[in-house]
Structure 1
Amino acid sequence: MSNQSLIALLDRVDRHPGQAALRARSYELLGLAAGSRVVDVGCGAGLAVAEMAALGARPIGLDVDGQVIEVARSRHPGLEFRRSDACDLPFGDGELAGYRADKVYHALADPARAAAEAWRVLAPGGRIVLMGQDWDTFVIDSDDPALTRVMVRARADAVPSPHAARRHRTLLLDAGFADVTAEVRTGVFTDGSLLPMVTGVAEGAYAAGAVTRCQADDWIAEQTGRARRDRLFLAVPMFLAAARRP
């Protein structure tokens, strides 16, 4: 998927009421204080950075993709965005009051290293919030549940760390964080505008060699028909973990 297509898809997801509530919950868990310096790792087009700035914080958005950073800068002039890897943050030890990462750790080969880096840049008492989906827990209604199960598993296996979200709590505990909490909020998507998220599962399974081109095309045709008839159903549990650096 191109950067432009990915940003367009994430924009549609972000506009979903459930996702707005999820972001608001992450800010609550961060305990944002006026003027607090916080980082949004994997900031994408910068929506969360803008929302945290509106709440009075001093956020910095980071993303590994330079083109995405340029989009964020164009959408939110006056806010701070930098290109950076989650495992090598451009901050000194104990420099930040808050750390947020949304839909990031599954894309990392070594999520534990990122959690250790979060520990390094947070000041004592600083808060961390991790959010993300577990790629094995997508629920998609289909006329062929067995094939759907194969596709979801194959798509998950193509992700560097598909189960990172279920491990958020363990990652934080192992990194030395305290007062670790975990919760889940399930997003339910029936809007046909999110069809690319569903069909991407089939394309990923085909690319992995788990299904034939014919199987993928037939499944995509079924899901496209469901979207046309308002019968699309996708449920994605989102796992949140929050903690404090002692």
Structure 2
Amino acid sequence: MFKNQEAVGKHRDTEALLAVLDAADQMPNAGLLRARSYELLSLVPGSTVVDVGCGGGRAVAELAERGVRAVGVDPDPPMLAAARERWPAAEFWEAGAEDLPFTDASVRGYRADKVFHVLRQPERAVAEARRVLCPGGRIVLVGQDWDAIMVDSDDAALTRTIVHARADLLGTPRAGRQYRSLLLDGGFHDVTVEVHTSVFTDPAMLPLLDRLAEPVCTSGAVGRDQADEWLAEQRRRAEAGRLLIAMPFFVAAASA
């Protein structure tokens, strides 16, 4: 019974995360950001490109449309099941960023989008990327800086507390600003870094704010009443067309 309850809980968590990702992916700037990451990969037709932490698989399908063998890897079986259902013609494998199912120097492109912030030791993932990439292969890392999320609110102090406390619950919340050093330390060269700020005003992004506040409340960093009041204000803003969330996304690229 407990295993069934745990499975149901994981399924709901996956559905909730997919809902947030889908809402974000449908924003025009998100499509432009993905396209920019593909451009930085310098795709070679017929070569193998791995999308690490592929989630729902959208990038894998889009990369395959560009004429490469795109492989999505993710350590979460429910997420992979969703990706395979959505993109049945695409290729997905179960694996983590620190242990990829590829032989040495067998991959031409490596992409990881919104992945490194959950890793405790992102340098291990960089070393694994260096192992599987062939000489001259390209790596592209995309991710938000969780400590720099901006939310318009009447209570700026509480908003800062929620944002920073949520960041502190992640493995490497400031991974985006660390991409350049991680790649240089990992032996990559021709490292470039860009920052693209995404602005969200659609009520469909309200679940993102739930994912900010609820873990912070559970951790005890803010009280239940404070979290409820903050979320209620954000819902009122959404209803009035006054919701605003801004997130800086770092895009780093380099050659092996």
TM-score (norm 1): 0.98
Q: 2:107 pairs with 71, 96, 102, which one? A: 96
Partner of 1:21: 32
Partner of 1:218: 229
Whichever residue aligns with residue 232 of structure 2, its letter is A
Runs of 4+ in 1 over 4 A off after TM superposition: none
1:216-240 deviation line (CA, Å, top 9, x unaligned): 1111110010001010000000001
Distance 2:99 2:253 in 1: 21
SS of corresponding position for 1:136: helix
Displacement of 1:200 after TM fit? 2.1
Distance 1:8 1:144 in 2: 27
Q: Is the 8 A contact 1:199 1:223 kept in 2?
A: no
Partner of 2:64: 53
Distance 2:85 2:156 in 1: 43
Distance 1:5 1:221 in 2: 19
Whichever residue aligns with residue 145 of structure 1, its letter is A
Whichever residue aligns with residue 168 of structure 2, its letter is D
Distance 1:181 1:95 in 2: 23
1:150-184 deviation line (CA, Å, top 9, x unaligned): 11010000011111111011100000001000000
Displacement of 1:13 after TM fit? 0.7
Displacement of 1:46 after TM fit? 0.6
Partner of 1:189: 200
Displacement of 1:30 after TM fit? 0.1
Q: 2:45 pairs with 31, 34, 39, which one? A: 34
Percent sequence identity over matched residues?
Answer: 56
TM-score (norm 2): 0.94
Distance 1:103 1:194 in 2: 16
Partner of 1:2: 13
Confirm or deny that 1:76 pairs with 2:87. yes
Deviates more, 1:129-138 or 1:193-202: 193-202
Displacement of 1:92 after TM fit? 0.5
Displacement of 1:56 after TM fit? 0.6
Confirm or deny that 1:209 pairs with 2:223. no
User: Which runs of 5 or more residues in structure 1 are unaligned?
Assistant: none
Displacement of 1:199 after TM fit? 2.6
Aligned length: 245
Distance 1:217 1:202 in 2: 9
SS of corresponding position for 2:147: coil
Root mean square deviation of aligned Cα: 0.8
Partner of 1:65: 76
SS of corresponding position for 2:146: coil
1:107-162 deviation line (CA, Å, top 9, x unaligned): 11100000000000000000000000111000000000011001101000001111
User: Which runs of 5 or more residues in structure 2 are unaligned?
Assistant: 1-11
SS of corresponding position for 1:2: helix
